[in-house]
Amino acid sequence: MRILAASVCCILFGCSTSPAPSADLEGRVDEKMEAAAAALTYPPGTYITVESYGGSTLSGYRIAKILQQKGLGVEVRHLCLSACAGMIFVGAPQRRILPGGVVAFHGSDAGFLLFSRQSLGKDVPPIYSQTRLVSAYEMSLYRSAGVHPSLLYAQYAKAGKICFSSDDREVPSKGTFVLGTRITAYAPSSATLRNFGVEVEGENAEGHNGPGFYLPENPSVSISLDNGTPLTPQAVDTQVRAMRIYRC
């Protein structure tokens, strides 16, 4: 069994019990994957394969910048979730999804900060300085990739209901502003991705019928699919403004 220790994604997505396809970059998005990306020697224009349940957003940012510098595209044959989707896939200079491949997002720090301002009428407490830092990296990567930043907000709004206390007198471990989404991720259609400036070959989650499905090797993970009209940047602000606080 794959163990994703000390990972948000291990809590959210669990561990796969079936072997994943071999890929150029696979496993947890972390410093080890950064080193693997730095060691890639393919010529510019090559598509490298990636297989990951996610991990560190900052490592995902650094991997995406490496791929940009090397001119390497990303190909998803199986799963690219959370930080893999939000940073590596979006940040890559070219992107391809093969039939059966799934690219699914689970929240973003930038989306969390926007929700706080929209629904609470104030910014998160100073203890969330790391959240602000990660948000800045997210915004920077999306700008460099030519992607509309509202996709970060869409990831947060579409991943599921959220719940946290608005009492800023306690530390996060006591329940202050603790993010508690449902165990879901959001797999936008390729049409939606293109609406946000994410050019992609192939169809996301092709062959999976919405509005949701369960990954065969991990039935505790629900993936919400686009259903009907693709989401647009213009619709995101309306969605985020309509979000409400759900007390944990």
Residue pLDDT, tens place only, 100-121:
888 988 778 888 787 777 666 6
Task: Report the greatest alpha carbon distance in the chain.
Answer: 53
CA gap 109, 133 in Å, rounded: 9
- Statement: residue 161 has pLDDT above 50: no
Segment (H or E) for 184: strand 184-187
Please choose, from the candidates 66, 64, 113, the residue with its C-alpha nearest in 3D space to the C-alpha of residue 85.
Answer: 64
3-class SS of residue 11: helix
Please provide residue 134's backbone torsions phi and psi, each rounded to the nearest 5 degrees: -65, -40
Cis, peptide link before residue 149, omega less than 30° from 0: no
- Please give the mean pLDDT across all residues of the chain: 74
The residue that leads in pLDDT, 172 or 102, is: 102
The residue that leads in pLDDT, 1 or 230, is: 230
- Statement: residue 169 has pLDDT above 70: no
CA gap 176, 4 in Å, rounded: 25
Strand ranges for the chain from DSSP E: 25-26, 47-51, 73-76, 79-81, 95-97, 102-104, 184-187, 212-215, 218-225
Residue pLDDT, tens place only, 116-158:
776 666 666 777 788 888 999 999 999 999 999 888 888 877 7
Residue 170 — very low, low, confident or very high, per pLDDT cuts 50/70/90?
A: very low
What is the amino acid identity at position 159? A
Residue 31 — very low, low, confident or very high, per pLDDT cuts 50/70/90?
A: very high
pLDDT of residue 142: 94
CA gap 161, 222 in Å, rounded: 13
Please provide residue 28's backbone torsions phi and psi, each rounded to the nearest 5 degrees: -70, 140
